[in-house]
């Protein structure tokens, strides 16, 4: 099941993000997330904005992700490529799993796709796992952007009835 995250769950959320950082480090992607990413402040801002969600089974939280609606500032950067459309969209960020269950990405993305018919996501070129999951889930690769810290991101776009 999926629900909004709560501030009192911050410690568990950081445990899950630590698992995600370690997974990326061990799978050829050591630089996408800094050792302190995401910060508690960023997570609390996401919680306050009702943009941070958890995958859970009762009291067991096993996944976390951000879903925001509206313009994503990072996507205003010049891109090498082109989005599939300029219609209102949702953006998915920071999907992480505790590593205790399979299918967290699918569960999170199915939830996002149930909320909006136009979804964007990005990932680091070294994040082969995320690239595979995006492409397997019907996202179309649209190009590259350079985010604020100067690092590249591959951008993906999913549109209900078009890319699935």
**CATH code of the domain in which 121 resides:** 3.40.630.30
Q: Could you report the per-residue pLDDT of 40-59, keeping only the tens digit for each? A: 999 999 999 999 999 999 88
Cβ count near 36 (within 10 Å): 11
Number of domains in the chain: 1
> Is 137 part of any domain?
yes
> Is 154 part of any domain?
yes
Percentage with pLDDT > 70 across the chain: 100
- Could you give phi then psi for residue 121, rounded to 5 degrees? -155, 155
> Is 32 part of any domain?
yes
Residue 19's pLDDT is 97
Which neighbouring-strand residues pair with 2? 55
> Is 132 part of any domain?
yes
Q: Give the domain range for residue 37.
A: 2-159
Q: Could you report the per-residue pLDDT of 81-104, keeping only the tens digit for each? A: 999 999 999 999 999 999 999 999
> Is 164 part of any domain?
no
């Amino acid at each position: 099941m999926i629900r909004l995250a709560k501030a009192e769950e911050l410690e568990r959320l950081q445990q899950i993000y630590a698992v995600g950082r370690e997974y990326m480090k061990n799978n050829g992607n050591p630089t996408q997330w800094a050792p302190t990413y995401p910060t508690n402040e960023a997570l609390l801002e996401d919680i306050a904005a009702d943009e941070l969600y958890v995958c859970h089974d009762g009291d067991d939280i096993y996944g976390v992700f951000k879903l925001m609606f509206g313009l994503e500032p990072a996507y205003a950067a010049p891109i090498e490529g082109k989005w599939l459309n300029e219609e209102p969209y949702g953006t998915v960020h920071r999907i992480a799993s505790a590593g205790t269950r399979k299918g967290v990405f699918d569960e999170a993305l199915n939830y996002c796709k149930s909320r909006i018919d136009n979804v964007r996501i990005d990932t680091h070129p070294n994040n082969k796992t995320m690239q595979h999951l995006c492409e397997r889930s019907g996202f179309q690769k649209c190009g590259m952007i350079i985010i604020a810290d100067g690092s590249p991101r591959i951008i993906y776009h999913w549109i209900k009835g078009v890319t699935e």
